Structure 1
Amino acid sequence: MRPTLTTLASSSPRFPGPGSLLRSFFIKQTGAIGVALMLGFFASGPATAAGDVQGIAAIVNDSVISRYDLDQRVQLVMATSGIQPTPENIERIREQVLRSLIDEKLQMQEAERLEIEVQQEEVDSAVDGISQRAGMTRDQILSYLKGNGVDEVALYTQIRADTAWNKVISARFAPLVEIGDDEVAEVMQRISQDAEQVQYQLAELYLGFDNPAQEREMSVGAQRLVEQMRAGAPFSSVAQQFSQAASAANGGDIGWVAESQLTPEIANAIRNMSVGTVSDPVRTHN
């Protein structure tokens, strides 16, 4: 079992009643996992060029993450998450953003190993989807990012990595999924039982770690993100940028869930939360 940190955003509990429909609650978690050599990501001053050896932020196997790449992703996060772009906030999220970039490099390397490709049409379609959800055109989105100092390549790179990793997951696990009649019956029985229980609507931000040293780092990073969200940064935007749970694509939204489906740690955290609030990080096992 892999330990994790979970941060919850709470909505109202739903109590059972005559003829009530089944709902499920959603949880949000924050996360980034990766193993790489990291160099000077707290160094001050702008990156000189994307390929400049003096501007290396990390090396992931044989791939380089430049300080320019890191700076661009930080600016992308600031432009899309609602976090105020103060020097203090930029410095605080820099390490977390670098870990996300490291994860993407590892994921892209796995996609390449499996000979999985992402077509430009898929990336364009994803950008169009983002634009539609924001009530803007693609050109307006790109113009907005440019106005905030973000090259469109930074957005396309993130989307390409996300799309590639989704394909890796599908290629790896989809052939193994077989649903039998007994499993359907079990789910239907659980649905019937859950309809009689208190249910919560939640959002999750997920952060994973593999050892005590990483746990300390992730705890600090998770708490900083919590502080930003409590200060007004939208939970969904922060989750989309930092969460590594599957729910990140939906801003961490996983719907309504019965209390019995929660781990004891999460259930205990939720009971004391008010609607619209964000919890402290919760340590669980995944």
Structure 2
Amino acid sequence: MSRLFFRLTGFLALAALTLGAVQPAPAQQTLRAAAVVNDQVISQFDVRMRMRLVMLSAGISPQQADRARLRDQVMRNLINEQLQLQAAERFGYSVSKQEVDQAVARVARNNNMSADRFLSILRQNNVSVATFRDQLRANLAWQKVIRNRLAREVSISDEDVDDAVQRYRSLQGERQYRVREIFLAVDDEQELPRVRQTAQRLMQQLRQGADFGALARQFSQSPTAADNGVLGWVTPESLPEAVAERVTQMQPGQLAGPVRGYSGLYIVNLMDTRVLSPGNATVDLRQLFTPVPDGAGADAVAAAKQRLNRLAEPAEGCSNFNALADDTDAARTSDLGEVKMSALPEDIRPKVADLPLQTPSEPLKVAGGYAVLMVCERSGGIDREQIRQNLQRERLNMLAQRYMRDLRRQANIEIQMGGERRNLEDTG
């Protein structure tokens, strides 16, 4: 479970964007409260730096940014993060400096650069490094709450899996849709106009070329945000009714939104479609490979396996798999894409079939050397373990959203932007 839920932490894909110089602000303005969350202050500096971080990661120029609406959504995210940190503290969960350092290093690797280079880019674009670290710290703390408190409330029985298998079999021959989403929660109807304005602005940014995955990571309130908003292959029955109606009318590459769902607004991007075909199982594979000449001695084989195990050990799923290779030619990663199970070598096929999702395999003998494989997604066949994991993830996601909504409703939140003092319920 820990491997799956740690992947919910968001990662940035930095855009090549210069935001311009920051005008120095008086100290009293910098430290002035923008919001108070259960006596914890969010400063105006915090809001300004997070806005710059969002624009940088999503590729939004200052000229394109609607600062008022961006500020409202950034404020909501900062309030949520403060509530998440407070919840973690109540349960006794803390995040160490070392954990944050490791998260920074993972983000840097995912962007194919060193941690020093990554942080240098933030500074060059006048984004406070502390702002980025604070976001990671809140994400890490929230995952500890999800993993250690909420996950224990999720139990998937064999009967649940049996029912899901029957539903899956009934869908053979139906069309599937590969979808990305940005989900914005609406806790009550008073919030709807403000959230709709935010969604409309995000749609405008996307039409102007902003990166969907980056906006999903920064704004989406669904756990899919960590995976660039990607839902994967779905059928209309698994989507909210209004979203399904729009998706089934779209062509690959198109955007739609905002679409009203049961608990919020959706922006969706249709990536591809296909027809689910029985007996045509496929896997989405990643490979970490190291060359070993044919006929190599036992010592060389043992060294290769040891190297692969060492490199694969920090894997947290497919989201950071490409960052596992070292800086030498000793090992390299590759995305093998969607591969038919029938096309795999006979000795590899059963190992891939039994491999849990998002989990590195043991080193396997392949042509030209040894490899660690990871299955990111399965389709076309029936995998009970994958179905069980999907059910667990769906139920945990619902619990996390419900708990976040309860935290906001129970909190004492006061907005103090622009010299105006407002309670949270007055901000709709």
Q: TM-score range, shorter-chain basis?
A: 0.7 to 0.9
Distance across 1 between alignment mates of 2:53 and 2:28: 16
Equivalent residue number for residue 82 of structure 1: 59
What is the Cα deviation at residue 63 of structure 1?
A: 0.7
Distance across 2 between alignment mates of 1:284 and 1:87: 28
AA at the equivalent of 2:228: G
Residue number among 168, 190, 204 corresponding to 1:191 in the alignment: 168
Equivalent residue number for residue 24 of structure 1: none
In structure 1, the gaps of 5 or more residues are 1-44
Q: Does 1:177 align with 2:154?
A: yes
Alignment of 1:148-167 (within 5 A): 148-167=125-144
Cα pair distance change 1:222/1:50, threshold 3 Å: farther
Distance across 1 between alignment mates of 2:237 and 2:255: 21
AA at the equivalent of 2:170: Q
What is the Cα deviation at residue 89 of structure 1?
A: 3.0
Deviations 1:224-267 (A, max 9, x none): 01110111001100010111111111111121111222222111
Residue number among 83, 88, 91 corresponding to 1:111 in the alignment: 88
Q: Does 1:209 align with 2:186?
A: yes
Distance across 1 between alignment mates of 2:110 and 2:207: 24
Cα pair distance change 1:50/1:206, threshold 3 Å: farther
AA at the equivalent of 2:119: L
Q: Does 1:122 align with 2:99?
A: yes
What is the Cα deviation at residue 91 of structure 1?
A: 3.6
Report if aligned partners of 1:131, 1:141 keep a CA contact under 8 Å in 2: yes
Equivalent residue number for residue 278 of structure 2: none
State the structure with more CA Rg: 2
Report if aligned partners of 1:50, 1:68 keep a CA contact under 8 Å in 2: no
What is the Cα deviation at residue 273 of structure 1?
A: 2.0
Equivalent residue number for residue 26 of structure 2: 48
Equivalent residue number for residue 223 of structure 1: 200
Residue number among 256, 273, 284 corresponding to 1:279 in the alignment: 256
Distance across 1 between alignment mates of 2:49 and 2:240: 37
SS at match of 1:280: strand
Deviations 1:161-181 (A, max 9, x none): 011111112222222222322
Report if aligned partners of 1:111, 1:117 keep a CA contact under 8 Å in 2: yes
Distance across 2 between alignment mates of 1:83 and 1:150: 14
What is the Cα deviation at residue 87 of structure 1?
A: 7.0
Distance across 2 between alignment mates of 1:126 and 1:85: 28
What is the Cα deviation at residue 82 of structure 1?
A: 1.1
Distance across 1 between alignment mates of 2:110 and 2:169: 34
Distance across 1 between alignment mates of 2:175 and 2:64: 43
Distance across 2 between alignment mates of 1:186 and 1:46: 60
Distance across 1 between alignment mates of 2:109 and 2:169: 36
Runs of 4+ off more than 4 Å: 50-53
Distance across 1 between alignment mates of 2:33 and 2:165: 53
Distance across 2 between alignment mates of 1:114 and 1:221: 33
**CA RMSD across the alignment:** 1.9
Range 116-125 or range 133-142, more displaced:
116-125
Alignment of 1:4-83 (within 5 A): 47-49=25-27, 55-83=32-60
Distance across 2 between alignment mates of 1:218 and 1:229: 17
Distance across 2 between alignment mates of 1:51 and 1:193: 61
Q: Does 1:262 align with 2:262?
A: no
AA at the equivalent of 1:208: A
Equivalent residue number for residue 147 of structure 1: 124
Report if aligned partners of 2:58, 2:210 keep a CA contact under 8 Å in 1: yes
Report if aligned partners of 1:269, 1:279 keep a CA contact under 8 Å in 2: yes
SS at match of 2:221: coil
AA at the equivalent of 1:96: Q
Report if aligned partners of 2:35, 2:42 keep a CA contact under 8 Å in 1: yes
Range 116-125 or range 106-115, more displaced:
116-125
Distance across 2 between alignment mates of 1:82 and 1:194: 39
Higher relative contact order (CA 8 A, sep 6+): 1
AA at the equivalent of 1:251: N
Distance across 1 between alignment mates of 2:224 and 2:242: 20
In structure 2, the gaps of 5 or more residues are 1-22, 264-428
Cα pair distance change 1:64/1:50, threshold 3 Å: farther
What is the Cα deviation at residue 51 of structure 1?
A: 8.3
Deviations 1:68-106 (A, max 9, x none): 111110111111111122274334311111111111111
Distance across 2 between alignment mates of 1:222 and 1:47: 30
Deviations 1:49-74 (A, max 9, x none): 38855x22111110111111111101
SS at match of 2:201: helix
What is the Cα deviation at residue 221 of structure 1?
A: 0.8
Report if aligned partners of 2:236, 2:248 keep a CA contact under 8 Å in 1: no
SS at match of 2:57: helix
